[in-house]
Chain A
Amino acid sequence: DIQMTQSPSSLSASVGDRVTITCRASQGISTYLSWYQQKPGKAPKLLIYAASSLQSGVPSRFSGSGSGTDFTLTISSLQPEDFVTYYCQQSYSDPITFGQGTRLEIK
């Protein structure tokens, strides 16, 4: 199975900050990488697919980049509703696997 490792596991930031979350795959996955946002008690929501494509309806402050083994999710200017948990997911090979999550906290 392909292991996905996110860093950091938690991150403190302020409204308006620019933040970057990193996801590393245990082997090359091309651009078969997606990012999800999960609010407490809710289902995950797709933000980014194919490493850098913005899902319809997602604010443009979210962006993704990377290929191979190293990927990033960037939020350009944090809004209050962004302080939740983020997951990366690889779909290069079965089983599809997720990172352990990054919790974004208000400083």
Chain B
Amino acid sequence: EVQLVESGGGLVQPGGSLRLSCEASGFTFSAFNMHWVRQAPGKGLQCVSYISSRNSATHYADSVRGRFTISRDNAKNALYLQMNSLRAEDTAVYYCARGEGYGGNSYWFDSWGQGTLVTVS
């Protein structure tokens, strides 16, 4: 069974930092692109960042580029999101999600973690 378990959320002051983790199990982690998706309270879904399986290429939303860093440790089956210079508008539940598709691209997210809440205040 595919499982994704996030941790590391919490309350942080504006300008502060947090590191989120996502522990994966039940599948070959190194073979999949992995994504962070966030949802502000009462709002919709926003893709924050992803990292590819092949060469660990990364991509960021404009709103977080230069402040957030995504990384992965395939030996530990773990995904990370280092968040610096946090702002009130970063307050959200952060989900890690497995990307599925073909040709090395993610076209849909077939497994999600339970989410971890980040509050910037």
- Chain A residues near B (Cβ < 8 Å): 32, 34, 36, 42-46, 49-50, 55, 87, 89, 91, 94-101
Contact = CB atoms under 8 A, between A and B. Distances in A.
B44 A46 contact: no
B44 A96 contact: no
B108 A87 contact: no
A51 B113 CA distance: 23
Contacts of A42: 114
B73 interface: no
B59 A44 contact: no
9 contacts: A34-B108, A36-B109, A43-B115, A44-B109, A46-B108, A49-B107, A49-B108, A96-B47, A98-B44
B31 interface: no
A43 B59 contact: no
Nearest to A35: B108
B106 interface: yes
B112 A89 contact: no
Contact of A91 (B45, B59, B107): B107
Contacts of B59: 94-95
B107 A43 contact: no
Nearest to A87: B45
Nearest to B59: A94
Contacts of A94: 59
Interface in B61-117: 61-62, 95, 100-101, 105-110, 112-115
Given A43-B112, A46-B110, A98-B47, 13 more contacts: A34-B107, A34-B108, A43-B95, A43-B115, A44-B45, A46-B108, A46-B109, A49-B110, A87-B44, A87-B45, A96-B106, A98-B44, A99-B44
B46 interface: yes
Please indicate which of the listed interface residues B47, B95, B108 has the most CB atoms of chain A within 10 Å of its own CB: B108
Contact of B112 (A45, A49, A101): A45
Contacts of A91: 101, 105-108
A98 B48 CA distance: 12
